[in-house]
Amino acid sequence: MIRWVYRSLPGPTALRMSLFVLITLIFLVLLHFFYSWVGDTFLDPGGAVE
Amino acid sequence: MTIEQLVDPDESNSAVARLSRPWHDSKGVTVMRGVGWTLIYAGFLILGFVVHQLFITNIFAQRAQDTLESELAVRIDDGAQTFAYVDPATGDVVEVPEFDPTVGGGSSGGGVDLGEFEDRLFAYESAPDLGEALGTIRIPDIGLDWTIVEGVRLSPDLKKGAGHYPDTPIPGQAGNAGIAGHRTTYGQPFHDLGELNPGDRVFWDSATGTHEYEVREVFVVRPSELWVLDNRDGAWLTLTTCHPKWSATERLIVVSEMVGGPNFGLFGEPT
């Protein structure tokens, strides 16, 4: 899948690499928010009574 | 089908042709490969979640704690402590920021004549803005030592460690002060709270000095049971966290009462 994403990117190698790094960073940030949401919702919502 | 047809490799449906067809071309294998890769990706996703919850969140909390410790030192150095008294007519806390017991002495410290209210004075600090450092909680019996932030918003307050319920009094003052904290993520400040027993000591350090509390009760409630934060006569500190560990279904409550510190005895005798 990673190779497929890389090969799908347009332009020369330098542009491809830059786009790939950018996409990876965005993916990791989104993953962080997703993990945080799952953890806060189901595992440990902070311990407050509400 | 004749024998010749069965063994003719150029005949697409012949036995020889079917047996010599690349195995990976079959539909079943393609599906199995897809399922296999899906499971591998799912495995990485779950592994990433475990690493995120166990390690990444702790890194965020620890970095926030470093900042909070600096903020708290500044708050204390800046003299966040003042004096206040409870107006018996209204029950309101009246802050007397200009009162200075080191100047003039007696009931006219700093030129402020408090008259009959002098005996009611106690060390007071107002709450900082949400998300800012308020004080430090220490429980030597379980090795707990965390800087507490003002507020219990899931983000950003509690991601910094543990937070003070803004609708409750500040620890060290009259009433029932509440603090909530994560038990298993974001530094897991209250991880071992369940090991406390009545009689254990809890220390609160803030601009008003160090106040000492003694654990009275440890029990479990549903997350919606807000009564645990109801105000009480005297000076109390209530800690709340998730229960059981790795679950959001219940809350562990630790109730402690003030037994020492600058304001001890000013809000009535302990039970």
Look up the CATH number of the domain holding residue B67. Answer: 2.40.260.10
pLDDT tier at A2 (50, 70, 90 boundaries)?
confident
pLDDT tens readout for residues A11-37: 898 999 999 999 999 999 999 999 999
How far off is chain A from B225, nearest CA to CA, in Å?
A: 7
What residues pair up with B145 in beta bridges, in sequence order?
B138
Q: Does B107 touch chain A (CB under 8 A)?
A: no
In a domain, B59, yes or no: yes
The reply to whether B62 and B118 lie within a common domain is no
Which pLDDT does position A46 carry in this prediction?
92
In a domain, B155, yes or no: yes
In a domain, B18, yes or no: no
Which pLDDT does position B9 carry in this prediction?
63
Chain B (195-254) residues lying within 8 Å, Cβ to Cβ, of chain A: 221, 223-226, 228-229, 240-242, 246-248, 251-252
- Nearest-by-Cβ selection for B158 from A31, A32, A46: A46
Which pLDDT does position B110 carry in this prediction?
55
In a domain, B10, yes or no: no
B224–A44 C-beta distance less than 8 A: no
> E strands within B18-115?
82-86, 93-96
Which pLDDT does position B35 carry in this prediction?
95
The reply to whether B94 and B161 lie within a common domain is no
The reply to whether B107 and B196 lie within a common domain is no
B48–A47 C-beta distance less than 8 A: no
The complex scores an ipTM of 0.86
Spatial CB neighbours of A36, under 8 Å, sequence gap ≥ 6? B52, B57, B155
Residues spanned by the domain of B200: 45-79+127-260
In a domain, B191, yes or no: yes
The reply to whether B197 and B241 lie within a common domain is yes
What is the distance of C-alpha B184 from the center of its chain? 10
Spatial CB neighbours of B162, under 8 Å, sequence gap ≥ 6? A47, B137, B146, B148, B149, B179, B180, B181, B182, B189, B190
Last residue of a domain, one of B124, B156, B183: B124
Which pLDDT does position B96 carry in this prediction?
81
Spatial CB neighbours of B15, under 8 Å, sequence gap ≥ 6? B6, B7
Which pLDDT does position B47 carry in this prediction?
97
Which pLDDT does position B119 carry in this prediction?
72
Kindly give the parts of chain B with pLDDT less than 70: 1, 5-7, 9, 12, 16, 19-25, 101-116
- CA separation for the pair B132, B203 (Å, rounded): 20
**Chain A residues closer than 8 Å to B165 by CB:** 48
- CA separation for the pair B150, B135 (Å, rounded): 9
Could you tell me whether strands B250-260 and B209-221 are parallel, antiparallel, or unpaired per DSSP bridges? Answer: antiparallel
The reply to whether B119 and B231 lie within a common domain is no
Q: Does B183 touch chain A (CB under 8 A)?
A: yes
Tokens representing residue B111 in the block: 């030129």
Which pLDDT does position B62 carry in this prediction?
95
Q: Does B52 touch chain A (CB under 8 A)?
A: yes
In a domain, B7, yes or no: no
In a domain, B63, yes or no: yes
Which pLDDT does position B1 carry in this prediction?
64
Which pLDDT does position B23 carry in this prediction?
60
The reply to whether B193 and B99 lie within a common domain is no
Which pLDDT does position B40 carry in this prediction?
95
